[in-house]
Structure 1
Amino acid sequence: MSTRTSGTRFFVVALLVSLLVAGVASYYASAHPDGLEHVAEQTGFIDSAEDSATADSPLADYQTSGIDDARLSGGVAGVIGVLVMLLLSTGLFWLIRRREPADSRD
């Protein structure tokens, strides 16, 4: 097996595992508030919190707008997040990859 085939297989398996974790494991994520929200509730300053500037975005609060089932909505948001990060990181790596100097290609 060539190195290229091995690398492609690794990438495909890693992508499938990432999508599976984002889409399925998020179904079992805790509905309890995170640490900061918990401390804010316990100390009494939760009411002074303001909404994020992105609170009205389609993927706000780890949910997908337009999907009523909270767990399915979270799973879809996770899958979209994995795919967006894949596109961004691939684009970044493509931009900064090392290129062979023109002289060494002969």
Structure 2
Amino acid sequence: MLVTRDALEVIQGKWRIPIIIALTFGNKRFGEIQRDIVDISPKMLSQELKALEENKIITRTLYDSMPVMVEYALTPLGKSMQKLLDEMLNWGVHFRKEIVEN
């Protein structure tokens, strides 16, 4: 149970899975992630990105340019969640058919 709890703590909340999904399509800057996720505030996005970085799900790369550019990407650990995300999508489709549409 402890291992399951550890995993859930990393992905819990309303925004972390959508952020991870947004990054499965490639590296993105802050504004690009915010455009991909409807209704997330800049403050919340910043907090969630920091938490995902602390848990080694994403990396934050700072480019020395004018203006300074920051890019986020999935780590190999973050990419390893793809099968889990696919299964969640499949279950969501099943749930919608069974519960929501009936």
Structure (1/2) with the larger helix percentage: 1
TM-score by length of 1: 0.31
TM-score by length of 2: 0.31
Structure with higher Rg: it is 1
